[in-house]
Amino acid sequence: MAKKWVQQMRQWMTKTMELPDDVMMDLPRITMIGQLHIYIENHRGLLTFTDKEVRLLLKQGQLLIKGKSFVIKMILPEEIMLEGNIHEVLYLDQ
């Protein structure tokens, strides 16, 4: 019950204060440049990395990125930039 109230309060504050959803609701922000680069903010950690698959932990669920020739160009505690040939970006709600 309290969890739902907190989420409703965040949504109300986001609308009232005109703040971006990703900031108030702790959602990932994903920026893609074609199929070559992907920049993800607000993740909770790197779970899997291969040259064909990257899996990131989110506050709610996971983000799965599939493709080939992946290289990590930049990684920080809550940000990552990948370069490669991106085929799919999937949100896994768990």
- List per-residue pLDDT tens for the chain, 94 residues long: 677 777 677 677 666 766 655 555 678 999 999 999 999 999 999 999 999 999 999 988 999 999 999 999 999 999 999 999 999 999 998 7
CATH topology of domain 25-92: Immunoglobulin-like (2.60.40)
DSSP string, 14-61: HHHHT--HHHHTT--EEEEETTTEEEEES--EEEEE-SSEEEEE-SSS
